Amino acid sequence: MRRRIQEPALVNAPRSFDEKRARLRELYDLPDEARRELPKYLGDKNPYLVGEAAECAKKHELEELRPQLVAAFFRLIDEVGNADRGCFGKFKVIDTLVALSAFEPDVYLRGLHHRQWEGAFPKPIDVAGALRGLCAHALLRIRYREALLDVVPLLFDEVAVTRTETANALGQSGLEGAAAALHIKALVGDQEADVMGAVYKALLEIQPTRYLPFVENALLTGSESDVDAAALAIGEARPAGGFDTLKKAADAPNRARSLEAIYLALALLRAPQAIEHLVQIADKSPEARAKLAVSALALHRHDKTLAARIADIANRRKGAVAEAFDSKFNTGPG
């Protein structure tokens, strides 16, 4: 009987999990080899390796692997049990499809409604929240005609990260219909400050002139967590009039506990007048406010001219202001 001789490529092919993982890491720097080998890894039975292969395809922008990515997603989501722990593989596949601008509404819709319960104490948790949020982004980015109908209900999802990412996705869409839904969500409220912050920011991204007074009202009259969320939303969205709104909030009575967030929001504006205002607070205001201003200005610590000005102020004022400077500005090259 003639002995079958294996091809060299098959003899040397990675077999164990560790070998496959090591090869995938090599493929990150080998685009030609990745183009040939990734389809095999996208079909691997291990969800983690599928996710790593998808990430590699994303790095090399391998649009020709779109069919294999779609097939991998449906295979993972149809699996019995929770082999894909934390939805790692499914999330990576969707992330790659989004990066490739793939028009795959059926894939995104399936992910949008996916629930995956895994054991935790004291009760199981749904680990598919981030996946649902990513699919909300995907449907809105491809301008799927019924995207709002499918995505908006996720503003009331039971998982906070889903609600947050849904608000972010709606804000980035720029759709007026999305603003109406976000407005309702803002009126209803949310226990999570991150969710409210995303909602406020999204409103300011879609229609800043219309919604800045609405967010300002939350900033001036809301609870402490709501004030912080509104302030940071203004800082991140940078609407016209944002500086005056934040300055008014900082000067309002009973806002001492929110000054840290308000000053940080001023720094986030990156507007020269906002930066100068914080410098003046650091220089002339009472120590409690001054040290908060210094901490906020640390966001721009790599600006050598600004850092030198704050260093002079800290050396002169000493005490808590100097301590804030040493702690926030002298953080090394990182």
For residue range 213-244, list pLDDT tens digits in order.
999 999 999 899 999 999 999 999 999 999 99
pLDDT for position 20: 95
Answer yes or no: is 238 within a domain: yes
Verify that 246 and 291 share a domain, yes or no.
no
DSSP 199-224: HHHHHHHH-HHHHHHHHHHHHHHS-H
Verify that 261 and 292 share a domain, yes or no.
no
Verify that 246 and 287 share a domain, yes or no.
no
Answer yes or no: is 10 within a domain: no
Tokens of 98: 């989004």
Per-residue pLDDT for 86 more than 60? yes
Q: What is the mean pLDDT of residues 309-320?
A: 95
Name the pLDDT band for 9 (thresholds 50, 70, 90). Answer: very low
Per-residue pLDDT for 5 more than 60? no
Verify that 276 and 319 share a domain, yes or no.
yes
Verify that 239 and 255 share a domain, yes or no.
yes
Answer yes or no: is 224 within a domain: yes
Domain count, the chain: 2
Answer yes or no: is 303 within a domain: yes
**Domain end among 227, 253, 268:** 268
The C-alpha atoms of residue 267 and residue 128 are separated, in whole angstroms, by 34
pLDDT for position 330: 83
Verify that 282 and 263 share a domain, yes or no.
no
The C-alpha atoms of residue 75 and residue 253 are separated, in whole angstroms, by 58
Answer yes or no: is 213 within a domain: yes
Verify that 243 and 291 share a domain, yes or no.
no
Mean per-residue pLDDT of the chain: 93
Verify that 213 and 257 share a domain, yes or no.
yes
Answer yes or no: is 31 within a domain: no
Verify that 316 and 283 share a domain, yes or no.
yes
Name the pLDDT band for 188 (thresholds 50, 70, 90). Answer: very high
Answer yes or no: is 287 within a domain: yes
Per-residue pLDDT for 129 more than 90? yes
Q: What is the mean pLDDT of residues 16-39?
A: 96
Residue 98: beta bridge partners? none
Answer yes or no: is 226 within a domain: yes
Verify that 300 and 318 share a domain, yes or no.
yes
Per the listing, tokens 């640390």 go with: 298
The mean-pLDDT minimum among 3-17, 39-53, 76-90 falls in 3-17
Taking each helix axis from N to C end, the angle separating 224-237 and 208-221, rounded to the nearest 10 degrees, works out to 150
**Domain end among 241, 268, 295:** 268
Torsion region of 118: left, alpha or beta (phi above 0 gives left; psi -120 to 50 gives alpha): beta
Per-residue pLDDT for 6 more than 70? no
Verify that 276 and 332 share a domain, yes or no.
yes
Residue 271 is which amino acid? A
Q: What is the mean pLDDT of residues 246-273?
A: 93
Verify that 258 and 276 share a domain, yes or no.
no
pTM of the model: 0.90
H/E segment holding residue 117 = strand 117-118
Give the structural domain span for 221: 207-268
pLDDT for position 334: 46
pLDDT for position 124: 93
Per-residue pLDDT for 40 more than 60? yes
Residue bearing the bigger pLDDT, 179 or 13 = 179
pLDDT for position 254: 76
**Domain end among 225, 250, 268:** 268
Q: Residue 124, exposed/middle/buried by CB under 10 A (0-12, 13-18, 19+)?
A: exposed
Tokens of 12: 């040397």
DSSP-assigned letter for residue 154:
G
pLDDT for position 333: 52
